Chain A
Amino acid sequence: MAAPAASSSTTAAVREMQRDLEHLQESSGPQAELELVNDEANVYKLIGPVLVKQDLAEAKANVKKRIEYISAELKRMDRALKDLEEKQNSKKESIFKLQQKMQAVQAKA
């Protein structure tokens, strides 16, 4: 029962990674555009129903931070995924060994 749990958590991790990747792409758009915007442009952030005026530098920093955070998250997910796969493989191996043992016992009996 370890294998399904591992595989389900693997798929969950993959899904999370894909979501993070999407977020990364989404925030890389504003970043690129904000870099092109000249300094005296007004930048607003939509918070709930209202647009809040933001400093351009602040907005840039926010977006950058967000991207960094998402990248870190992606890396973390990557590592977690690898761990899960390793666990899965080791579990598979142990299952295989157990099956072999069982077959040997059955052959003897």
Chain B
Amino acid sequence: MAAAPRKGTATPLGAVFSPEETRRAVARVAEAVADRRAELGRLQGFAADNAALVSLVQRLPDELSHDIMVPFGGAAFFPGRLIHTNELLVLLGEGYYVERSAKQTTEILHRRGMELEAQVEAMKATISDLEAEAKFFESTAAEASEGLVEIREEYDEDTEINTSTLDASRFASGMPDKDREYAQIMARLDELEMEEKDAGSTSEEDGEDDEDDEDDEEDAGPSEDDKEDEEEENILIDDNDHHNASLGASFSGSGGNDQSHESAQTMNSGIQLPLKKAVSFQDDNRHTVGPSKSLQLPQGPKHSSSILEVSSDNPTSHDRKIISSGQKAFTGSIIEHDDNIETLQPSKSDALQNPTSSSSRPVSRFKMQKGGR
């Protein structure tokens, strides 16, 4: 997405040739090949028979008569003599027989043999064609299953000249595919972060005007605090930040717990959305604490006090909320002493905090959407 505008299309081969269809095509071609092979075998049998007959007919007139065993009724033989060894009745087809000498017969047989050879050659050519087709189908099927992509680009001379240098430089930089992918993902995350930030600030404003939003926050309060409880051992992560907390949970291996917790508390998405709003509000509040403490102050007490009301039934969060509410009743400077903030603030500056949360927050939002809905 961040790359230069791409010309042409990239279609996965699997979409064009569905694996099932290619498999069926391969099977059909294989069947045809088998049929042709059987036919070829038959023809080759004819040719062999013909050659044997030629040699027999050539040997017959060598003697005036041959001592043979004459087949009698298919089950018995009796001894006999073959005479007139140079007189043969040759079936020409259509019920026509012609009396021929051995020499003439061999000529006829040779002509037939030539015909058979031609047929065999034609059959072999057909088989090789079919086999090539089968190989093509097979390779296509394999490529499609490997996820090969067909790239089609219209050749446009102007754009080609323009972009070729750019492309060259990009390829020259030798950015491995993985790195580029990673960079793209990070860029997308940043984008999402910005969007969420905007959404958060608007929701914050809504919260100021709207009583309902505060109620939503009350709903959200306890659950958020529960999460904090889970995450309290995780010191590195800012446990007041719900998003960070959920991310930390998923990273530290208790993701399933975290998600089930979320789904439990957000049986319907109607609750989840306000929760996010509330959290993003808190986030936003804290982000702006550094640069403009005095400005944020009026909002601070109002919201935190509402949280306090609900979270009073949860002992641990109760304490913290008292602290936070007290802190916010004072000035912004005391926020720095909040233990929740402390975990963040000493280690990271405001400038640093933004990127960290920027990378984590969109992810957490995805997780919430995946887990909750």
Contacts and interface: CB of A to CB of B under 8 A. Distances in A.
17 contacts: A29-B93, A30-B96, A33-B90, A33-B92, A34-B96, A36-B108, A43-B97, A44-B89, A44-B97, A44-B98, A44-B99, A45-B95, A45-B97, A46-B95, A46-B96, A63-B96, A66-B94
B94 A27 contact: yes
Contacts of B96: 30, 34, 43-46, 54, 59, 63
Interface residues of A, number: 20
Interface string B86-118: 000111111111111000000010010000000
Interface string A7-46: 0000000000000000000110110011011000111111
B122 to A, nearest CB: 14
A1 interface: no
B contact face: mostly helix, strand, loop, or mixed: strand
A2 interface: no
7 A-B pairs closest in CB distance: A30-B92, A42-B99, A46-B95, A44-B97, A29-B93, A30-B93, A33-B92
B93 A26 contact: yes
Contacts of A63: 94, 96
B95 A47 contact: yes
A3 B98 CA distance: 49
Nearest to A56: B98
A88 to B, nearest CB: 25
What class of interface size applies to chain B in its complex with A? 10 to 19
A19 to B, nearest CB: 14
Given A41-B99, A43-B96, A43-B99, 6 more contacts: A27-B93, A30-B94, A44-B89, A44-B98, A46-B97, A63-B96
A109 interface: no
Contacts of A33: 90, 92, 98, 108, 111
A51 interface: yes
A41 B87 CA distance: 11
Interface of B: 89-100, 108, 111
A46 B92 CA distance: 11
Contacts of B98: 33-34, 37, 41-44
Contacts of B111: 33
Nearest to A38: B104
Contacts of B97: 43-46, 51
Contacts of B90: 33
A41 B100 contact: yes
A68 to B, nearest CB: 14
B244 to A, nearest CB: 57
B341 to A, nearest CB: 66
Most A C-beta atoms less than 10 A away, residue of B90, B94, B100: B94
B96 to A, nearest CB: 5
Contacts of A37: 98, 100
Contacts of B93: 26-27, 29-30
Contacts of A51: 89, 97
Nearest to B101: A41
A76 to B, nearest CB: 21
B289 to A, nearest CB: 63
A26 B94 contact: yes
